[in-house]
Amino acid sequence: MKNILVVSFFVVLLACIPVQASTTVQLEGPAGIGADLIFDYISLSATTGTINLSLKNVSSIPWDLIIFDFNAPASVTGASLTSSTYSWSFDFLHDGINASGFGMFDVYLFLSDGLEPGQTDLMTINLTGTGLDGMTEADFLGLLSIGGSPGLQKSSLAAFQNPDFFGFSYAFPAGGGQQPVPEPATVLLLSTGLIGFIGTRKKWRK
């Protein structure tokens, strides 16, 4: 009887442990640029949570500059980059990160040193707020940026610079799935807006 009770109690404990799932997406840009991005949200309590990011350069060329912006629910009131493999600049401000024609984002990550082919960067972002125990990755990756040119509002945006070109990708469109990377003609039309943040952090955000 005791054995049955112990086993039953153990099963109940397992059932109470939340199952965390991560979201993986392949980022593809022009001229063969590419990345594997893993976005993993873990709820720690109603007021705290953690985002683990993994970004790998799967291109055959190095990146000299990387920018990654995404959005956060309004109930997230604080965010800080607590650890990373390399030295990223970080900022958090609801609708305060200006990504040129793509609108205003909430979270900003900038790596000026870039990544060599095959290199992976791991980042941990700690969050504070309310109702964080009921959130999933979709609560972050399904929010569109505010403002921007018609049709260009995105839930997340990745940008990569190489000495010879500048590529970007819509990482997570609202509603799920991955949006197509703009054709070269579209990239050309957007060049006026994109040139504002190429190479410098200040040109990316206000």
pLDDT (average), residues 161-180: 61
pLDDT value, residue 75: 96
pTM tops 0.95: no
Report which DSSP code applies to 183.
P
Gap between the Cα atoms of 181 and 193, Å rounded: 16
- Statement: residue 173 has pLDDT above 70: no
Gap between the Cα atoms of 28 and 38, Å rounded: 14
- Statement: residue 68 has pLDDT above 60: yes
Task: Find tokens 């979709």 and name the residue.
Answer: 138
Q: Which among 5-9, 23-27, 159-163 has the top mean pLDDT? A: 159-163
**Angstrom distances, CA of residue 21 to CA of 55, 57, 74, 121:** 17, 22, 22, 19
Report which DSSP code applies to 146.
B
- Statement: residue 197 has pLDDT above 50: no
* Domains of the chain, start order: 18-194 (2.60.40.1170)
Are the CB atoms for 23 and 136 separated by under 8 Å?
no
- Statement: residue 165 has pLDDT above 90: no
Gap between the Cα atoms of 171 and 180, Å rounded: 10
Gap between the Cα atoms of 120 and 63, Å rounded: 12
